[in-house]
Chains A and B, each alone.
Chain A
Amino acid sequence: MSCCAPGTEASLDLAATAGPGAEEIRLSSRALDGDLMQTDLAVPGMHCGACMQAIESALGKLDGVAEARANLSTKRVSVKWHDGALPPLVDTLNRLGYPPHLIEHQDETRDETLAELIRAVAISGFAAGNIMLLSVSVWSGAEAATRDLFHWISALIALPALAFAGRIFFRSAWNALRHGRTNMDVPIAIGVSLAYGLSLYETINHGEHAYFDASVTLLFFLLIGRTLDHVMRQRARMAVTGLARLAPRGAMVLKDDGGREYIPLPELLPDMRILIAAGERIPVDGVIVEGNSELDCSMATGESAPVSVGTSSKVRAGTLNLTQPLIVRASAAAKDSFLAEMIRLMEAAESGRARYRRIADRAAALYAPVVHATAFLTFLGWIVATGDLHRSVTIAIAVLIITCPCALGLAVPIVQVVAARRLFESGIMVKDGAAMERLAEIDTAAFDKTGTLTLGTLRLVNARELDGDTLAMAAAIAAHSRHPLSRAIVEAAGKTSQDMRFATVREFPGQGVEAIAMDGTTWRLGRADWACKAATATAQALPGTRLSRNGREVACLEFEDRIRPDAGKAIAELKSLGLSVELMSGDGERQVATLADKLSIPVHRAGMLPDEKSARLSELAARGHKVLMVGDGLNDAPALAGAHVSMAPASAADIGRNAADFVFLHESLSAVPLALDVSRRAERLVRQNFALAIGYNVLAVPIAVMGHVTPLVAAIAMSGSSLVVIGNALRLTWRRSASTAQVALAGPRTMEAAS
């Protein structure tokens, strides 16, 4: 291991102890020239140069690997290998302590939009710099032929810059107009092209005033804002797709002739027999034909306790097989499975959200008509007053130039970029700037239970009451099982002495583990009625797990789902911010009520089906509430898609994560109030920025209407207002150090309180 702390992303590692299998990797690889194959893996544990070097050199040394290249910014490794035997990439990385995940295919193509934006910024920046240089010469007194020459050169530089860099705005404005709407790009496009047209006319007629600099600097500023906005969203998307995929890509199918074949998920058909090893997720709905095991259904239904299954039990796609291998006969293809049902519900739920209009568009809808009407009235006023057509048109266009919403166009994206960066540093990914606007509006927060308020992993509660030897014995037996309860025992015992040897160890699915010691004693760890003989009937009345020696109870082990760190504090904070908090879970009433009580959540509902969750959200929405949904499971996905705004932890199911607007990477639930706080402050700054931009217009428009605007005045006023808006947005980072320290301090304290 290297200099980095490996525990920082523990929530991610939980999901990927085994990592993707060889077949899955082969399936996700791309063929390059010759016999080369390329595999891209996300390695979230990579934090510094030493990690990078360790990974590159270890992978580079493997047989068959042509090149391994790590990317620290995106936390990815791209490996090129010669076709043939697959090099043990995953094992090597696991051994180094950097568990890898596979990445989706789609996002491997290069980002064309970003490339276009960067080129546009470069070209408009070049043009703005050179034109400004020439304009300064004109302002400082260049006369007659020299001034005309400078204007002509400016016109030549500005034309390609507008054509190339401006088309981003022209395209968007045209799209809006064609659909009968208006957005901020409409006044921008009109202002920029009119400024160019007027200046060209003036230049041809040896006029004094040309606004080439204004139109190009405007584009330059706006493009910077737009590029930063795009980069921010791209980074969040990359971070989210780099997380472990929880849905399998394919399955091992048993063929009639006894052979085995790994088949990609879309090609699985009903009636195929699928082999599911312990620790794998079930890819499609089906019926068990062979084997007994236990399933972790928390992702699919929200139930926290494992469910015992046996021959002819029905199983759902997305559940995790825990203890024994199973053979399942598929009853539906992947596209008709439980997962597909959830996607259908999500699409139905999403239609409600599409009605949300971004604050910038709402502002533009008010702003554009006012500005254009003002320009038109100015024109009418001057033509009535003077009858001079040329002068009236010039002044009317000057009004349009001075009101061109440079500051207004930057007011929203700059604040959102700064806010998203602030959240990114705290491990919260924002998919879209509009999500922050929506989060700032909420008045209700609904939480899922398993995996969201809790971590979805069980913890041994009474470890301190047990004596050391008993616990060590339980841990030694439990070490032979992958059952979540067994893992919790091993974890609670910590480093046990590994000298405990048994003659035989057998796992009985749904019952427990039996270990026969060297001296012939039979130890059993498992369900009370199985571990203890009828003699200890009292023990059987109570639920829980027992450790028994030759049928006599030695210890009773109690478990509970671990509450997410800072959950209590986060809920209290949300309530103090005036939000009503609800708990919605698919789990049983008893577990849900206990947790709601512990976290003092006033409203709770248990046993909810996925469509009931989204129905509850629409009911709240119908009553005028704006709801934040925080959830992680497959069963939460429709609710996440349908809520006003949604958040999911990094450990959430793939489709839940994709449906959520925010994804938080750290375990602590303090991410929820933090995101809310930052969003609300961002909202305030956006409003301030609008006030600043409008205040600027109130001052500048009368000057323009009176006909006193010169290119110099326009340049100073427009750049000045943009800089003021950007400066105001940066205030969001001022209080950063203080609030981060607060979060860091709060962490350990609440952990103690919970334990």
Chain B
Amino acid sequence: MNHLIILVPAALFLGGLGLLAFLWSVASKQYEDLDGAAERILFDPPDDEAK
């Protein structure tokens, strides 16, 4: 019984962290252009940032 006092809140906390991360990623428009994001990793950075 005692270990549950720690394990249950820990599980909920970690799950909640995941939930918050997801909500944040939605709010910061990371799902606006899924097709584009897949292509963008192939782009070279612009010259001024590459240095």
Where the two chains meet, the residues of A that have a C-beta atom closer than 8 Å to any C-beta of B are 48-49, 52-53, 70-74, 115, 118-119, 122-123, 126, 129-130, 133-134, 145-146, 149, 153, 157
Contacts and interface: CB of A to CB of B under 8 A. Distances in A.
26 contacts: A49-B36, A49-B38, A49-B39, A49-B42, A52-B40, A71-B32, A72-B33, A73-B36, A115-B26, A118-B31, A119-B23, A119-B26, A122-B19, A122-B22, A123-B19, A126-B15, A126-B16, A126-B19, A129-B15, A130-B11, A134-B8, A146-B4, A149-B4, A153-B8, A153-B12, A157-B12
A73 B11 contact: no
B35 A72 contact: yes
Given A126-B16, A133-B11, A73 B34 contact: yes
A71 B15 CA distance: 32
A258 B30 CA distance: 52
B6 to A, nearest CB: 13
A153 B10 CA distance: 13
A49 B43 CA distance: 8
Main secondary structure of the interface of A (DSSP, over half): helix
A450 to B, nearest CB: 36
Contact of B39 (A48, A118, A130, A146): A48
Contacts of B23: 119, 122
B50 interface: no
Interface residues of B, number: 23
Given A130-B12, A133-B11, A146-B1, 14 more contacts: A52-B40, A53-B43, A71-B36, A72-B35, A72-B36, A72-B39, A73-B32, A119-B23, A122-B19, A123-B19, A129-B15, A130-B11, A145-B1, A153-B8
Interface of B: 1, 4, 8, 11-12, 15-16, 18-19, 22-23, 26, 31-36, 38-40, 42-43
A48 B40 CA distance: 10
Contacts of A52: 36, 39-40
Contacts of B39: 48-49, 52, 72
Query: Which of A115, A126, A149 has the most B CB atoms < 10 Å from its CB?
Result: A126
Contacts of A122: 19, 22-23, 26
B43 to A, nearest CB: 6
Contacts of B42: 49
A338 B32 CA distance: 39
A38 to B, nearest CB: 15
A73 B39 CA distance: 11
A126 B18 contact: yes
A130 B33 contact: no
A111 to B, nearest CB: 10
Contacts of A146: 1, 4
B35 A73 contact: yes
